[in-house]
Structure 1
Amino acid sequence: MDEILYKLSIFALPLLFAVTVHEAAHGWMAEKLGDGTARMLGRVTLNPLRHIDPVGTVMVPIAVYLLSGFIFGWAKPVPVNWNNLHNTRRDVALVSLAGPGANFLMALIWALLIYLGLWIYNSLEWVARPLIYMAVAGVLFNAILMALNLLPVPPLDGGRVVYSLLPPKMAQVYSRLEPYGLFIVVLLLATGLLGMILWPLVGLTISILPATDIVTQLIPVILSPARS
């Protein structure tokens, strides 16, 4: 039980910020491009409490970790009124890309924090070790969330980018996939295809970040099943 709680404490902050900052970035970009809906609802903030979904941010991550040893979740989607954007088709793509872009930036910040952990390791090992593990988890979670959201499946961010790039008639036909997007992702997950699609991009993302070797070495450590 102690090891389970230790790992949950390491995973909690990186996952929380991975999903909440992702959503805040959508709202921030939408505001810059003409829609202030997210600002009016208090969603353009780095305060995680404004973005927490009781199911997706709390219950699901804990349940998935206890069942599989991994952790995953989501935050409340930020509402965007697409009709308020200055250039709807272009701006839909920009708002959508803001989320994955924020995940890449956070992965970079977590990677740099690994160096801070190494720097203080000899004098403050009890602080450095969990910091390094937390930073590795932050790199991994943000790389996964970025890759997942770039899938060209509506309503994921990548699907909205594809929608904005297609000719209007084709875009309308493509948008009809949105009600089935979750089922498509679940089907890909159940068949093992989702991992085959995501991991090359996750690996590429990690490979261009600082501290690549350390992240690669420690990912199996932080994902190893916790002993109760």
Structure 2
Amino acid sequence: MSTATFRRGDRRISPVFIGIAAVMGVTGWAVWTDYAASLGLAVFLFVTSAWVVSLCLHEYAHARTALHSGDISIGAKGYLTLNPLAYTHALLSIVLPVVFVIMGGIGLPGGAVFIEHNRIRGRWRHSLISAAGPLTNVLFAVVCTAPFWLDALDGVPMGFRFALAFLALLQVSAAILNFLPVPGLDGYGVIEPWLPRGIRRQVEPLAPFGLILVFALLFVPALNDAFFGLVDSVLSGLGVSDPEVACGRDYYRFWEGENEFCALYIDR
């Protein structure tokens, strides 16, 4: 059986994803034009919908790479439709990442397309499948920060600029977390095919707890400072300043009230 024998519906873009993308487009326009009654609410809806779109693309990248690597079961599972409801664990892939963004402004790695690894031959293919997801976050971060590092911010409204800066923070933090070589994260999936079989068997039971371990370690002040220091350094290298990220986060969390500094910044 070849990939050409899939039903057309296996690859048709889901109306759910189209709806989320439409929300992103409409609210992005509202932020750009300052049309909304509440800029904060518009930023919240724009960033949240854009974040969900990036999560869907992250999982799609895993699935599409697996398909071309030999797992032809991907299409029947609905992973090529970009429908977040088709994921093995929609809670882990979509709901928890959104909750963590709302609570703390950090890009939680999602994860839950079930890939039949026994269909795939070659260690490089296995590694590439794991790397495809976080590389999508990297690409998303590059796109979000393009106006900054291209010095093309003339005419970009400050509210939209703040929203892009905060969205870039989410993408960079998600990419870094995902690339950590911790069982259960994509970074470990990249190196796992190259490890001795004995080590893989010993580590396998730890996979469900890898993400929990990472976030527990982030509560350690020194590690938290080091992680966000790395994120800030990457954003700075891409031309995004700390005040822009901070104002993006403040407008996103509009229920906490308006930040006077950011309000003055946006009125300049």
Q: Which residue of 2 aligns with 1:134?
A: 163
Deviation per CA, 1:104-132, whole angstroms, max 9, x where unpaired?
Answer: 111111112556972434xxxxxx33332
Name the residue aligned to 1:202: 231
Give the C-alpha shift of residue 181 in structure 1: 1.4
Corresponding residue number in structure 2 for 1:61: 98
RMSD of aligned Cα (Å): 3.2
Partner of 2:194: 165
- Contact preservation (8 Å) 2:232, 2:242: no
Contact persistence 1:14–1:135 (CA under 8 A) = no
CA 1:41–1:95 in 2, change beyond 3 Å: closer, same or farther?
Answer: same
Are the structure 2 counterparts of residues 63 and 27 from structure 1 closer, same or farther at C-alpha, using a change threshold of 3 Å?
Answer: closer
Structure 2, unaligned runs of 5 or more: 1-36, 258-268
TM-score w.r.t. the length of structure 2 is 0.67
For structure 1, which segment, 78-87 or 159-168, has the greater mean C-alpha deviation from structure 2 after superposition? 159-168
Moved over 6 A (4+): none
TM-score, normalised to structure 1, is: 0.77
Q: Write the distance in 2 (CA, Å) between the matches of 1:140 and 1:63.
A: 13
**What's the offset of the Cα at 1:95?**
0.8
Cα distance, 1:194 vs structure 2? 4.9
- Give the share of equivalent positions with the same residue, in percent: 25
Matched, 1:80 2:115: yes
Q: Is the 1:22–1:103 Cα contact (8 Å) retained in structure 2?
A: yes
Selected match of 1:118 from 130, 137, 153: 153
Measured after TM superposition, the shift of residue 5 of structure 1 is 2.1
Match of 1:223? 249
**Where in structure 1 are there 5+ consecutive unaligned residues?**
122-127
Higher relative contact order, chain-length normalized (CA < 8 Å, sep 6+): 1
- Match in the other structure for 2:135: 101
- 2:115 counterpart SS class: coil
Structure label with greater radius of gyration:
2
Question: Whole-Å Cα distance in 2 between the matches of residues 5 and 218 of structure 1?
Answer: 17
- Structure 1 residue 160: Cα displacement: 1.7
CA contact (8 A) 2:108 2:174 kept: no
CA contact (8 A) 1:151 1:158 kept: yes
Counterpart pick for 1:143 among 172, 193, 197: 172
Deviations 1:150-190 (A, max 9, x none): 11111101122232222222222232321331331232133
Alpha-carbon separation, structure 2, partners of 1:76 and 1:153:
14
Distance, in Å, in 1 between the alignment partners of 2:164 and 2:43 is 13
Task: Describe the shift of the 1:113–1:97 C-alpha distance in structure 2 as closer, same or farther (beyond 3 A).
Answer: same
